[in-house]
């Protein structure tokens, strides 16, 4: 049975949308959650976009989102680096605008020359020379910090290579062990819960991948909800607390729960 959460963390790709196509329940999610008094955040491993760009994309699909509704892997990467790196440290970055702007806003210098850290996110304009720069930084001793290890990115016409594919090239060349900040590690969800002011045991996460979303929720101590789909690949030893057809199905269950005084 689904408990009534105080906060719902929603993955984007595969839950709310696929590419620029909204999925069932996407347009109703924010009004429904607000009506039920449930706080929410969109939590995404996708490091390519800024919160403002994410909000613009969802609004174009009919989802009334605002930039402050998003907690993405670039924000979690910046939070992690602030906790371990000196101010104004240099970072070699493979990534797009969302990651670069988050790092610059946190006070880091994007520079390939003798970087203190190498940071990797999805980069759809990736070149061989960018891989060379990242590998050089790692070989010179810079820790490898990655936004996520997602193997694939769901888009309108199928699956594209994800950040994990880029990380695999660097680790194969260097033998480095990456520090993973996004899902399935719990830090991204912890940043979201801190922003919402909600304890893990009072929250739920809904995602479409057991290996990332559900594993991250388990690590963070959050109730986990799996959207059944083509990326819901089984993982030994990890089971979601609940399964739903899509976000619309979950919203209907939350509304039923709000009307049932026996469910807390």
Angle at 75 between CA 69 and CA 80, to 5 degrees: 140
Q: Residue 18: enclosing H or E segment and its boundaries?
A: strand 17-18
- Show the DSSP H helices in the chain as ranges: 26-36, 51-60, 73-84, 97-105, 128-139, 163-174, 187-196, 215-220, 247-258
Query: What residues act catalytically?
Result: 11, 13
Matching residue, tokens 């260097």 = 174
Query: Within 13 A of 152's CA, how many CA atoms are on the CB side?
Result: 16
Burial bucket for residue 202 (CB in 10 Å: 0-12, 13-18, 19+): middle
């Amino acid at each position: 049975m689904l408990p009534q959460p105080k906060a719902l963390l929603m993955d984007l790709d595969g839950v709310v949308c696929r590419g620029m196509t909204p999925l069932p329940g996407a347009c109703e999610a924010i009004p429904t959650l607000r009506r039920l008094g449930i706080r929410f955040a969109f939590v995404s491993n996708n490091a390519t976009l800024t919160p403002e760009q994410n909000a613009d994309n969802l609004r174009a699909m009919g989802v009334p989102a605002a930039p402050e509704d998003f907690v993405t892997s670039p924000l979690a990467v910046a939070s992690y680096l602030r906790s371990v790196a000196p101010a104004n440290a240099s970072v070699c970055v493979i990534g797009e605008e969302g990651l670069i702007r988050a790092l610059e806003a946190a006070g880091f210098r994007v520079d390939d020359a003798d970087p203190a850290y190498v940071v990797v996110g999805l980069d759809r304009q990736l070149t061989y020379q960018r891989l060379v720069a990242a590998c050089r930084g790692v070989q010179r001793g810079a820790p490898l910090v990655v936004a996520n290890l997602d193997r694939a990115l769901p888009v309108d016409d199928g699956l594209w290579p994800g950040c994990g594919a880029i990380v695999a090239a660097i680790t194969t060349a260097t033998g480095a062990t990456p520090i993973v900040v996004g899902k399935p590690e719990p830090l991204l969800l912890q940043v979201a819960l801190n922003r919402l002011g909600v304890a893990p045991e009072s929250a739920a996460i809904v995602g479409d991948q057991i290996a990332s979303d559900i594993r991250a929720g388990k690590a963070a101590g959050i109730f986990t909800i799996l959207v059944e789909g083509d990326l819901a690949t089984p993982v030994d030893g990890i089971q979601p607390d609940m399964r739903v057809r899509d976000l619309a199905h979950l919203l209907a269950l939350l509304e039923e729960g709000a009307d049932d005084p026996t469910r807390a």
